[in-house]
Structure 1
């Protein structure tokens, strides 16, 4: 069904051009104009706010209809479908990426990257191969599975505050995910998921999941929070500033690890952290190294001995303290002595300042000594480089199993019992307990550029199931479709 654009209704807003997966629409004279590489995928018909884009009843002349997903692109000679996987070559649709057969030792016999699919899954998977490994006949079944139930968990190594938990994460003004619960030393984002993929902005959601998983740089905006430039394997850029260090621990943990070296150069240390601010002399670690409370009170809410809760903000250690002097709330001069030195720093030690208590209880900043600087540098040296990482998350508990065996439940059981090993793009996946096959995989261990998306919308992941031939027969595998690995590689 060819797409047509009603020029009378078109307002030239450009939304269709931005969303078109093939970049097959351009805006000319404030009107949308279709290009030759249009595949009638229908994205424009769904995103146009003025109903200017529609489909007629005729297939595009000279086009081949793709049946690899429900979209059914109509692809002209020399062009690819919306998913960028299949190209029309002399009237025949072929997978435009060579099947990746090289894998790690102990992995699948081949990967699913470049395999294509046999949608709608009632037929055997695209490749079912057999080989002998350590004297055992082994089978690997591969496919590229469109997964509506999918997303990506993004880990951002930073102490900076990016937004409240649960805050919406947007791309080009469209909601693509949310800020998740924070993990140790890192902020977490949850991008995608079935509800967002099937929502009104599902196309940009799918594209975002795939681009992050493929290691491309994306820019996201947290509601009432930061602008994030993220690329897996690289430092995060937060509000235009690259963050280079991941904290060594919370403020309390930093005190615990470095109490001995800090005690040698200062009388007190406040380690600023938006979760737990540490106070050296009051902390149990301070007692262990022979210190007693100095009389200094940090500007934070007390939790337990030497441990205080910080407040989120854009300041030092991800707190609301932007001037280090503000970290010192007060000094009890009935306990403190004039001349004592107080170090204020962060868990990453990227910022540090040294203060001295005066006879009247006031505090003034003094130059950093070489000994104190060495102690601060020691903390920094134990911090890791900040980077972005991601786990692709998906569920293959549905029809994708039918291409593996005639008894889908037995595929699930084989995976959960460890009788079949599931991998994604050659990388080992962690399968979550409970029903279905819900998995997570480190995108950096997957074959590069392994993910794509189809405008149903859903993401497409390469999936492999590897098991002994005997087990494959037992679960009702499609043994008639098995091919010898050597024959395939020829």
Structure 2
């Protein structure tokens, strides 16, 4: 349960702001907790004065929820911090019923799933009111299919670059430079990967727009590009290849965060070591305290790892260029202390990373100090098992653009009808023959994996500045007529293919 030390509390209201159940209020400059507190511990972490304190005892009638590491103590008639479970007469009941029916996919005729030809090499008709360079019709089975293609200049375009690595590349929001000019920024981190955002309309129209456009196109065309992060790393990136960070090629992606690694391999580690610290810049895992360690029958060892505690067996790491992307360069520093009232001399503590590339084994002495000892064959076997479950580290490049603007005039005389038909699945948008992820909402915004584009060097840039992408719209002939297509410009596919062959 949670208690408020009124002598320490100054009524700042941080706990009121962050309480997930809204059960804290301030009266006379002091915080008070209403009935129903689940002891989730958020208030203890945000309180700057240590006034919110987690006591050891569990309130009478409360049930400990084990659905996540928070382990809420849910009182009778109340719900947990995530609001998924309620304590009904001493039993946790899921509040939302199971949804058993899935929506049927809004799949249109499969005949329009891919274009008759791609837009690569199609050229561009300018100004916008001109019909697109190629408006073709052909047959697939009994269906008359139309594909409209062009190489469209897109001012609203950019990249998402996914870098599979545990290495620290820079702080979120840090600017990314190419040839000394800003071309993007470090974005939020995804699971096991660092993300960059490159380009976008604001950077393309800025003073460094030319280099921004060139960077987008080089990466989209799967060329190697060297970038520098403010206060961070030098990056050598190429789609489909391993990243090179500060001159070091990273070939292995982590199997999961430190907590996930403990969860995945707790059974393998039990009996091999007495404790394991899995270093990771996101979540450091402590085996014996972790729910997975408890599940396989381990008892807490008394080891305290370096890091800021989140929940049992899970600690926040500090970013850096050390082990597991943390600031820890010496594995001995991963062990903050050993509580010898709980621990025992002779215990073996494994310190490793989520990729298992590096590992050190320590033995606990009678005074609580630790000494490095050789890795045992059993430990090496577990490290090999972890490493074997790590994927190849690679760079992925996602081109993002918007074709909901004036370029629609080359396709139709009714631009909004084209937009609607694309979102309704009646018109299939592809980029260089590659399927796209269509973003919901207004306009026609899409994302495409550049490695799925059917031919190399499919993207260009123009000094407006903008990027030029091969765009294809494929649909049934009846749909094209309905949305105001340039029907008079339709040409048979065979005629165009023959002309290209003759040329």
The answer, yes or no, to whether TM exceeds 0.5 is yes
Deviations 1:357-378 (CA, angstroms, capped at 9, x unpaired): 0111100000111110110111
Stretches of 4+ aligned residues off by more than 3 angstroms? none
Which residue number corresponds to residue 199 of structure 2? 192
Contact 2:276/2:351 (8 A) holds in 1: yes
2:274 to 267, 274, 295: 267
Deviation at 1:175, TM superposition (A): 0.2
1:244 to 242, 251, 254: 251
1:465 to 464, 469, 473: 473
Deviations 1:348-406 (CA, angstroms, capped at 9, x unpaired): 11111111101111000001111101101111110001000010000011111000000
Q: Give the whole-Å Cα distance in 2 for the aligned partners of 1:375 and 1:397.
A: 53
Which residue number corresponds to residue 347 of structure 2? 340
Q: Give the whole-Å Cα distance in 2 for the aligned partners of 1:232 and 1:462.
A: 18
1:131 to 127, 138, 151: 138
Deviations 1:131-173 (CA, angstroms, capped at 9, x unpaired): 1112100100000000000001100000111101000000111
Say whether 1:454 aligns with 2:454.
no
Q: Give the whole-Å Cα distance in 2 for the aligned partners of 1:462 and 1:121.
A: 16
Contact 2:113/2:474 (8 A) holds in 1: no
Which residue number corresponds to residue 58 of structure 1? none
Which residue number corresponds to residue 390 of structure 2? 383
Deviation at 1:264, TM superposition (A): 2.8
Say whether 1:476 aligns with 2:493.
no
Matched residue of 1:402: which SS? Answer: helix
Matched residue of 1:376: which SS? Answer: helix
* Structure 2 unaligned regions, length at least 5: 1-110, 499-503
Q: Give the whole-Å Cα distance in 2 for the aligned partners of 1:138 and 1:296.
A: 67
Cα distance change on mapping 1:105 and 1:471 into 2, 3 Å: closer
Q: Give the whole-Å Cα distance in 2 for the aligned partners of 1:360 and 1:223.
A: 45
Which residue number corresponds to residue 488 of structure 1? 496
Deviations 1:461-486 (CA, angstroms, capped at 9, x unpaired): 00000000000000000011111111
Superposition map of 1:132-281 within 5 A: 132-281=139-288
Deviations 1:114-134 (CA, angstroms, capped at 9, x unpaired): 000111120110001111112
* Structure 1 unaligned regions, length at least 5: 1-103
Deviations 1:198-232 (CA, angstroms, capped at 9, x unpaired): 00010000000000000000000000000000011
Q: Give the whole-Å Cα distance in 2 for the aligned partners of 1:345 and 1:263.
A: 15
Matched residue of 1:355: which SS? Answer: strand
Q: Give the whole-Å Cα distance in 1 for the aligned partners of 2:413 and 2:307.
A: 61
Q: Give the whole-Å Cα distance in 1 for the aligned partners of 2:409 and 2:371.
A: 72
Matched residue of 2:265: which SS? Answer: helix
Superposition map of 1:36-51 within 5 A: none
Which residue number corresponds to residue 97 of structure 1? none
Superposition map of 1:112-127 within 5 A: 112-127=119-134
Q: May I ask how many residue pairs the two structures share in their alignment?
A: 387
Which residue number corresponds to residue 435 of structure 2? 428
Q: Give the whole-Å Cα distance in 1 for the aligned partners of 2:362 and 2:167.
A: 24
Which residue number corresponds to residue 303 of structure 2? 296
Say whether 1:393 aligns with 2:393.
no
Cα distance change on mapping 1:381 and 1:444 into 2, 3 Å: same
Matched residue of 1:199: which SS? Answer: coil
Deviation at 1:194, TM superposition (A): 0.4
Q: Give the whole-Å Cα distance in 2 for the aligned partners of 1:120 and 1:362.
A: 76
Contact 2:174/2:229 (8 A) holds in 1: yes
Superposition map of 1:318-337 within 5 A: 318-337=325-344
Q: Give the whole-Å Cα distance in 1 for the aligned partners of 2:112 and 2:242.
A: 31
Deviation at 1:105, TM superposition (A): 9.6
Matched residue of 1:413: which SS? Answer: helix
Which residue number corresponds to residue 417 of structure 1? 424
Deviations 1:31-53 (CA, angstroms, capped at 9, x unpaired): xxxxxxxxxxxxxxxxxxxxxxx
Contact 2:112/2:474 (8 A) holds in 1: no
Q: Give the whole-Å Cα distance in 2 for the aligned partners of 1:264 and 1:105.
A: 58
Say whether 1:349 aligns with 2:332.
no
Q: Give the whole-Å Cα distance in 2 for the aligned partners of 1:308 and 1:106.
A: 47
Contact 2:160/2:198 (8 A) holds in 1: yes
Matched residue of 1:246: which SS? Answer: coil
Deviation at 1:106, TM superposition (A): 4.0
Deviation at 1:281, TM superposition (A): 0.3
Q: Give the whole-Å Cα distance in 1 for the aligned partners of 2:113 and 2:421.
A: 18
TM-score under structure 2 length normalisation: 0.76
